[in-house]
Structure 1
Amino acid sequence: MRANRRRRSDGTGEGSEPGEDSTHDWGDTGGSDSTVESFEVGPAPAGRRRRGARGEGQGSGDGAGRGGPRERGRAWRWVVPLVLAVLLLLYLFRVPLADYVLPESAQSRLLASAERALAADTLTRADGQGARELYAAVLALNPDHEAARAGLARVAARALETAQAALAADDRGTARDRLVLARELGVGQALLAPLEDELRRRDSVEDELDRLLADARAAEAAGRLDGGADSALAHYRRMLDREPGNPVALAGRRSVLDRLLEQAESALMAGDPASAAAGIDRVAAIDPRHAGLPSARVAMSEWMRAALVEVRGEIEADALDAADERLTDLRRVRPDDAEVVAEVERLAVAWIARGHRHLADGAPEAARLSLLRAQALVERAPGLVELQRALAEQGASASAGADPVAAAERVAAALRAAEAAMAAGRWLPPAADNAWQHLREADRLAPGDLAVGRARLAVARQARQCLARLSTPADLEPAEPCLAVLAEFDPADPDLPGIRFNLAERWIGIADERIGAGEPAAAARALDAAERVDPGHPDLPAMRRRLEQVGEGGRH
């Protein structure tokens, strides 16, 4: 085996040509020497050593041409860090570089997003996706970008526009936010000031509306629906004065009007048509389109038809006082109704007919009273002149034995003085030398005299006008003497209770205002006047207690 190995090593083995290098069969020449040497046991032949020497020389020459491993290692030491540094810089500055390479791409995307946000009315957003923030981002990339600057100006204009629209819709929260945005974007004070002033005014109005609403609901809960400064309707009216169309005030007023119509219906069923008609008219004056008015008016019309039927029957039965009382209710309800006017004329004719019967029975005083009742209904009723003439003839024959000249002169003098006082405007007390005091003397001298009766009727009508003119607190002072004249002229006048009630109601309202203003003395005077006019007014006790509580609070 050794011999064989030696022969293969020397290149003289079987299948080898003399002088041919057998290392070719082992692949890479760089590793052939070591491989061959690992199989050699003895010294190599001389020829082999020469070939090895040549191979070493050649290998040394090849290594010198390619560079050794040490030189290649030193080259990689600086190439790798350099590549990594370049990659890191590219990563860190990828956006600026992209914008540098494609400068319009990022700006265009931001600008398009800003336009979409503005079109959607998304003017600002906390996450930066509002039109304002997106335009600002474009300007951050390019401070000279004209489209972005114009976009911010459009955002400011839109903010001002939407603030105006929000105020018009009473959306004060949105209006406030939009005004802040407009100010931050540089909208001028001249444009902002009117809107900011209006916003402040609405805020103050809202506070006042809240207070008025609380007062209105408290009054409604206490049953003070109408008729005073502290009533529910008064508070709702103030709310609507401050903010016309306020839905809460309209709903509250509608609820109060419903309750007033319910009260009117109850009054009609209880036989108080005047109060029922007053309630219906009150609701119609406040809200002519109130939903409950048609049914209430139908009920009132049905009552009127039934009442007119009864009036006709009472006139035919000569129950004139009952007919007069019922017609008084009808005249209060519908004074201009054609059927009511016709029945009033029929009743006046019936009174005149009764006057003639009294004369025929020898009762001239009763005849004169019937005449006055007819005149109170219709001033120129058919047959009135004939009854006056008959009464005058009977009066002349009855006074034939007395001194007619002296009596007539005294009555005439009193009438002249009364007419002069009327011409001077001194119709009623407390004016000195007033017409009423002269007519009182004339009536004492000639009771039942028709001229005196007509003059007294004229003064009584003036007193009614005085009471109808109660529009301010200053009108209340002369109202009491006017009421006294009416009561003296006809103590049985069916209108007197209502007149007393309304006048006392006005005084009680003034007392309520004076208590609220911290003027208990003035409130006490107003309550005294109310008590003189109508001592039985139902609101007097409660107002007296309230005044006493205010006095006790002041003492504490």
Structure 2
Amino acid sequence: MNHRKDPGATPSLGALDQLDLDRPRSRAGSDDPPPPGPPPRARPPRPSFWAWVILATFVAAVCLLLALGTWRDSLSQALIPSSELNREIEAAQLALARGELSRADGQGARERFQAVLARDPDHPAARSGLVAVREAALVHARAALAGGDFDAARQHLALARAMAAPADALAGIEAELVARQSADADIAQRLQAARDAQAQGRIEQQGDGALALYEDILRLQPDNAIALEGRRSLLAGLLRDAERALADGDLRTAGALVDRVVKADPSHLGLPAVQARLGEARAEGESARESALKAAQAELRAGRIEAAALGFQALLAERPDDVEARQGMDDAAAMLAARASRLAADFEFDAAAEAINRAREWAPGSPALAAAERRLEQAREARDEVPGQALDPDEFDSLLDEAAAAMRAGDLVDPPGASAWDLLRRAQAIAPDNGAVRRAFVEYSRRARACFEDELAGNRLGAAQACLDALVVQDRGGDELADDRRRLADRWLAFGEERLGAGEFALARRALAAARDVDPSNPRLETFAERLQRAGG
């Protein structure tokens, strides 16, 4: 049965849904089907108000955390100030209240405030404290000036100036200070006294000399033209005196005059030329001194002791503090004392005593003098034991036998009187031309030489030195044993180097003394002595 739809009837809900599903609507709302194309994109949902609130809160929290991490130190100092800084500020404020604006020991107000700023450059209390110190310095300067204490006023002005006080405030106080000083000091009277002293030639007298008077005036009035001209004239005269001293070769006087001019006026126009000439003269004098010193040292090495001493004495006369010349005199005295010991061993008592006295004049404190005097006394005692005016010829053979026994025992020069040397000398006095005596002396020399070489090879330096002494008495002050003395001294110094390296300073000093006694002119002595001194020995 066919049913016809009533066009005027209202469709049901299900029918509407079916229509919507079966026939999509056009954009114009007509019943015509839409044109073919892609389906429309779904529109994203808009964020709600609370989402925006949450996002803003999160961003603010992150920024706050970053700020706290960056400025946490400064914030902590601002919120919780350091107790140590607070104590320093309090101490500075107390020092300011007591008037202790600046102190050399760092306990003044200025120094304490600066200490705080060194740790916290932006500390407000420290900055304002320094301003208060500067203002207090100006106040104290005015008070000191009013009280007539010009020195204190100058000190407070210097402090205010160092702390960058305003120029107009400083200028007023400084002008008043100069005016007060000028009023209190009779400048005219001082100038007249300076001119009188200059006319009388009293240039450098203590207190009332012309130069000192002019300098006093210039301290009160730095721009006083009369005092400036007077000082310039005096200094020019001092420089002329310095040039005359240079012409005479008196470098010490010339140097003292130039130093006085430098002290009074370092910018004096005539000063550079005289200083240049003084420098040239000093360089020439030093070169001449070096040549004279080397010549004297060469004389000493050659054994010409008296000639070397004259050279060292001439150097000391020009420069009493010449260390090298003084050391040369000590070495010459030691060598002369050694010669006296050899003369004493030969029973030449007068010559030995004369050598000891001359050595004492050169170096009164030389340790070699005591040894030479002991040797002389021992030789005299041994000589006193020799019988009468002539020796008994019957004693000749026994003397040779005793000398041979002493040589075999190694008693070459000691003990005095019973040594091989002394016994042979007594036998020689009995029969000077006897062949047995000559052969005995040859044997003595051979044994002494062998003893020295053996002991030196075995590094028994004390024994080697005794053997060298046996050779020295035959050398009679000559220079034939210079090489042997140098070898032994070098061994002593090598031993001293070892002891110094081991920290045994006493043994190192003993080795140095032994080397100096054997070879006073050894060039290594002073180098080792300096090392020993630097090491604390």
Task: Output the TM-score relative to the length of structure 1.
Answer: 0.30
